[in-house]
Amino acid sequence: MRSPCPSRGDESLRSRERGEPMATLCRPAIAVPEHVITMQQTLDLARETHADHPQRGLVLRLIQNTGVQTRHLVQPIEETLRHPGFEVRNKLYEAEAKTRVPEVVRQALANAELEAAEIDLIVYVSCTGFMMPSLTAWLINSMGFRSETRQLPIAQLGCAAGGAAINRAHDFCLAYPRANVLIVSCEFCSLCYQPTDIGVGSLLSNGLFGDAVSAAVVRGQGGTGMYLERNGSHLVPDTEDWISYAVRDTGFHFLLDKRVPGTMEMLAPVLKDLVDRHGWTVPAMDFFIVHAGGPRILDDLCHYLNLPPEMFRFSRATLTERGNIASSVVFDALARLFEDGCPAESAQGLIAGFGPGITAEVAVGRWAVHGEQARERGDRTDRGLRESVALSG
């Protein structure tokens, strides 16, 4: 499958020719469930369900201010509003994941011009259901991945996990040059709806979060997309209880502190610092793909980084059309960048995910274009490298 993006430079190509370690984040694949709820339906339900809530007016205003016009759900809204118990919900999570994930995996592999047998590590991120063994085991057994494929499930980084998955894939490719990593994000936020939670933060989340599955490949050699050059993490001290889950008999109860919308005042300098340490400047950056947990995050990034709103247009579109889809946001926004027309070769970009902790996972890199690979499946060198990856450590 050939990328439609034209090549307009040669810096990344020179890096390849020098034999430097590469890690290119290829075009993601995204899928959303068929059940849709609009903002107007959300507001009407909030009015009906919480008619006597003392802060109903505030909740309605907050939901309207999110700008989320549509969200996708794995169940019809009538089923979503019922709570059959955590066990039933978690079984639904597993069934829906096994139904919906394979297609995005196949598409992501096609986007990266790879086959399942060429993947060395699967990173699976999700904070909305639980499986042990992870879905990675099921994918390996059912989709043609090699039995020695490494598994890395990430379950407790929430919305930051999309950025963390990209960074851990980058690290793996630096450790094992020419290795390939598949990232899978599966988020069914609607399965965490708790009808007994009537706090303002919980009610706001009921109008903010949506469901989606996504996948993307980080190639150790070749591929078109973002050539990852540096990554970093940051934890804001003493903010552990700002975004969290309370795990109760009824499942995961989402807790959101009112201070969360203001976190970009603390995190924008973290993004700038990583860019500066890489020898770049924020004003010279060509694209930004960030987790849009809500509209204020994007507004504040514009303010604190002195950037025009259009620099975050892909993240804003994801928020408007699909809501906060947790760890899948960065992949959906990146897919929109591909759809809009790829940046010029060597264009400078940044990807960031934000989540519980408060945690930021950030990566910077250049746009790289590389055509279809004439990869001989029986190539002795590649086979030796894969055996080394499988047996080392």
C-alpha 297/C-alpha 243 separation (Å) is: 15
Cα distance from N-terminal residue to C-terminal residue, the chain: 34
Q: Is 186 a catalytic residue?
A: no
What beta strand segments (E) does the chain contain? 24-26, 29-31, 35-38, 70-73, 121-125, 150-154, 180-188, 211-219, 225-239, 243-248, 251-256, 287-290, 348-355, 357-368
Question: 3-class SS at 246?
Answer: strand
C-alpha 216/C-alpha 182 separation (Å) is: 6
Query: Per the structure block, which two tokens stand in for 378?
Result: 């029986």
C-alpha 75/C-alpha 89 separation (Å) is: 11
CB 107 within 8 A of CB 113: no
Residues in Cβ contact with 126 at an 8 Å cutoff, skipping those fewer than 6 apart: 97, 135, 153, 155, 161, 185, 186, 187, 327
Options 5, 26, 159, 186, the catalytic residue: 159
C-alpha 29/C-alpha 335 separation (Å) is: 7
Catalytic residue annotation? 159
